[in-house]
Amino acid sequence: MFIFSCIFGYSFAQNVAAINGKSISAKEFLWAYKKSHNGTISADYDNLQSYLNLYINFKLKVLDAREMGLDKNPVYQEEVKTYETALANHKKANATHKDHDFLLTEYKEGVLMFNVSEQKIWNKAQDDEQAITSFYAKNQQNYNKPLSEIKGQVVADYQQILEENWINGLRQKHQIKINENELKKLAKQ
């Protein structure tokens, strides 16, 4: 039991977080952080923690898409296959094999996140006039103009509420563990 605890502790130490026991490695997290911050990997703890929160939200949306079976959709599978072929044919000379894996995973998950967001947020907000009207009526104190003049802003605000509710539901549904020690180590680099 002691050996198992040591092995588990060591393997978790190389991860910044886990969702339902599925690890997010420090390497994957730093790769994503660096990519979204113009190549910068030096960050303080608060910035890394904030980005990890966003990254976990992203991973939760991808998990939700997979639970909905969106990754089984033939159109999605064909799109991924096309990208994978293009990526293999156009490898950059300086790209490592690991970058290839990260790029492919990023693409797959990005498309899934887009598809599930389209279903759970964007289409719902665009297609449900009654919900928009109701949202506007409940929050009219935030708007000084008629709905017809500011509908775009109301739809955007409604989409924000839909996303917040979705993320809160996902965070309640799934077990999330953050490895504060690993995050602190990354901040010191």
Query: Can you tell me whether residue 119 is helix, strand or coil?
Result: helix
For the chain, the domain total comes to 1
The CATH number of whichever domain residue 107 belongs to comes to: 1.10.4030
Residues 6+ apart with CB under 8 A from 109: 58, 59, 62
pLDDT digits (tens, 9 = 90+) for 29-56: 999 999 898 877 778 899 999 999 999 9
Query: Can you tell me whether residue 24 is helix, strand or coil?
Result: strand
- pTM confidence score: 0.85
Q: What is the pLDDT of residue 103?
A: 87
Query: Can you tell me whether residue 39 is helix, strand or coil?
Result: coil
pLDDT digits (tens, 9 = 90+) for 108-149: 999 999 999 999 999 988 889 999 999 999 999 999 999 999
The residue segments making up the domain with residue 136 are 2-188
Structure-block tokens of residue 2: 């002691």
At 13, is the pLDDT very low, low, confident or very high (cuts 50, 70, 90)? low
Q: What is the pLDDT of residue 85?
A: 87
Q: What is the pLDDT of residue 88?
A: 79
- The DSSP-derived string for 57-94 is HHHHHHHHHHHTTGGG-HHHHHHHHHHHHHHHHT--TT
pLDDT digits (tens, 9 = 90+) for 51-94: 999 999 999 999 999 999 999 999 999 999 999 888 877 765 45
Instruction: Assess contact for 30 and 41: CB atoms under 8 A.
Output: yes
pLDDT digits (tens, 9 = 90+) for 162-188: 999 999 999 999 999 999 999 999 887
The number of CA neighbours under 13 Å toward the Cβ of 150 is 16
Q: How far apart (Å, rounded) are the C-alpha atoms in residues 135 and 154?
A: 8
- Name the percent of the chain lying above pLDDT 70: 88
Going through the chain in order, the beta strands assigned E by DSSP cover 15-19, 22-25, 176-178
Q: What is the pLDDT of residue 12?
A: 45
